[in-house]
A and B are shown apart, each in its own frame.
Chain A
Amino acid sequence: EVQLVESGGGLVQPGGSLRLSCAASGFTFSSYWMHWVRQAPGKGLVWVSRINSDGSSTSYADSVKGRFTISRDNANNTLYLQMNSLRAEDTAVYYCARVRAAGGRGNDAFDIWGQGTMVTVSS
Chain B
Amino acid sequence: DIVMTQSPDSLAVSLGERATINCKSSLSVLYSSNNRHYLAWYQQKPGQPPKLLIYWASTRDSGVPDRFSGSGSGTDFTLTISSLQAEDVAVYYCQQYYSTPSFGQGTKLEIK
Contacts and interface: CB of A to CB of B under 8 A. Distances in A.
Interface of A: 35, 44-47, 50, 59, 61, 95, 100, 107-111, 113-116
Contacts of A113: 49-51
Nearest to A112: B52
A47 B52 contact: no
Contacts of A59: 100
Contact of B49 (A47, A61, A100, A114): A114
A109 B95 contact: yes
Contacts of B44: 45
12 contacts: A44-B93, A44-B104, A45-B106, A59-B100, A61-B100, A100-B55, A107-B99, A109-B61, A110-B95, A111-B61, A114-B49, A116-B49
A110 B93 contact: no
B40 interface: yes
Interface string B27-49: 00001000000101010100011
